[in-house]
Amino acid sequence: KAGVTQTPRYLIKTRGQQVTLSCSPISGHRSVSWYQQTPGQGLQFLFEYFSETQRNKGNFPGRFSGRQFSNSRSEMNVSTLELGDSALYLCASKTYQPTGELFFGEGSRLTVL
């Protein structure tokens, strides 16, 4: 069974630009969530999608947005990039059940110059 796939793995942008990150969940997983990892901050929850609907959102500004497609693939977008947006962005998929673990991709490493 293929795991969670994230693209691109690495990217460099400059301040003010926007970026779109993509995530393909494990087949059959309809829940996709996004996390931001920065040094010393652990993983911060961005948002979660289930069946194309955003069900949960973390405490991030409106510059961070996402969507989910009918095939459960998800994208997140960050507009007007700031230096502080440099981070590892992790996507995770999960079954619909309330218990069970998140399955993470390898992440997209964003560097903002």
Q: Is residue 48 a contact point for another protein (CB under 8 A)?
A: yes
Residue pair 82/14 in contact (Cβ under 8 Å)? The answer is: no
Q: Is residue 111 a contact point for another protein (CB under 8 A)?
A: no
Q: Is residue 25 a contact point for another protein (CB under 8 A)?
A: no
The H or E element that residue 66 is part of is strand 64-68
Stretch of 13-21, 54-62, 66-74, 75-83 lying at the interface with another protein (CB under 8 A):
54-62
Angle (CA) 48 50 56, round 5°:
35
Q: 78-107 mask for another protein (x: CB under 8 A)?
A: ------------x---x---xx-xxxxxxx
38 contact partners, CB below 8 Å, separation of at least 6 = 44, 86, 87, 88
Binding stretches for another protein (CB under 8 A): 4, 31, 33, 35, 40-45, 48, 50, 55-56, 58, 90, 94, 98-99, 101-107
